[in-house]
Amino acid sequence: MKTESSSLAVMEWYLTAGVDEIVGETPVDRLNKPDIAETPLPAPQIAASAPVFAPASLPAPASVSAATAELAAKAATLDELRAAMESFDGCALKQTAANLVFADGNPAADLMIVGEAPGAEEDKKGLPFVGASGHLLDLMLKSVGRDRTNVYISNVVSWRPPNNRKPSEDEIALLTPFIKRHIALVHPKILLLLGGSAVSALIGIKDGITRTRGRWLTYRDGDVSIPAFASFHPAFLLRSPAQKKAAWRDFLTVAQALNQN
């Protein structure tokens, strides 16, 4: 039988470890509303597991520049796409950023990771995910046997918003043709979308990442169709470490799917 002192010791250890509330593995509907439990993870076989959400078509945002789409479409290689973006002066973010943050990793990889926008460290070095969130991403990739030699990483927005603010809907819409062309040129087996902005821009779901993560989706653009998986952005995990367990489960699901195909 546990003594009172041993029970207190356990509680003190939990507090030291950062546990400040007790929750179960499954959400409890206390307001008699429809259950919003996580969608069960599909079998990790891409061809056999049909994506659960695939909008037939998305209306083109009115703010998307015709010039942006035209520039992106002309790029036949990644080098040409980078050059087109470097020459593009139609985005105000470019005027305040130090560098274009194009991509990192192996463009021949079977997994492409797409985040939201660069931060301060990314802006300085011209590479995505190299700050604190990038370090966490590297650790998560390592936990499933991956690193930057066998993944390819980019962002929906390639210039840092001032003060690391969230990019506006107009800025995302303006630059989305570039990341879509980027995806078409790399054409990975799976897209891993980190954060709500990436899911909204590329899939069209605006429900929020807490409702979308853990689900197989389909990215479609013209004749390009790629299985996609949504998960939390590492920057969010740094603010909400309790969600790391769910994110790690997402990475395991994606890694298992890649290993079996």
Q: Report pLDDT for 26.
A: 58
The per-residue pLDDT for range 169-215, each reduced to its tens digit, is 999 999 999 999 999 999 999 999 999 999 999 999 998 999 999 99
The per-residue pLDDT for range 106-155, each reduced to its tens digit, is 999 999 999 999 999 999 999 999 999 999 999 999 999 999 999 999 99
Mean pLDDT, to the nearest integer, of 1-15? 55
Of 2-6, 135-139, 141-145, 225-229, the range with the lowest mean pLDDT is 2-6
Architecture label for domain 68-259:
3-Layer(aba) Sandwich (3.40)
Q: How many helices (H) and strands (E) does the chain have?
A: 11, 6
pLDDT-based confidence at residue 27 (cuts at 50, 70, 90): low
pLDDT-based confidence at residue 16 (cuts at 50, 70, 90): low
- The mean pLDDT of the chain is 84
Measured N-to-C along each axis, helices 169-186 and 66-74 cross at an angle, to the nearest 10 degrees, of 10
Q: Report pLDDT for 67.
A: 80
The per-residue pLDDT for range 86-106, each reduced to its tens digit, is 999 999 999 999 999 999 999
Alpha-carbon distance of 216 to 229, in angstroms, equals: 5
More confident residue, 1 or 134: 134
More confident residue, 46 or 167: 167
The answer to whether 122 touches 130, Cβ cutoff 8 Å, is yes
The answer to whether 150 touches 190, Cβ cutoff 8 Å, is no
pLDDT-based confidence at residue 11 (cuts at 50, 70, 90): low
- Contacting residues for 73 by C-beta, under 8 A, at least 6 apart: 177, 181
Q: Write down the pTM of the prediction.
A: 0.76
Domain range list for the chain = 68-259
Alpha-carbon distance of 7 to 16, in angstroms, equals: 14
Alpha-carbon distance of 240 to 235, in angstroms, equals: 9
pLDDT-based confidence at residue 58 (cuts at 50, 70, 90): very low
Mean pLDDT, to the nearest integer, of 251-258? 97
Q: Report pLDDT for 126.
A: 97
Q: Report pLDDT for 33.
A: 46
More confident residue, 120 or 38: 120
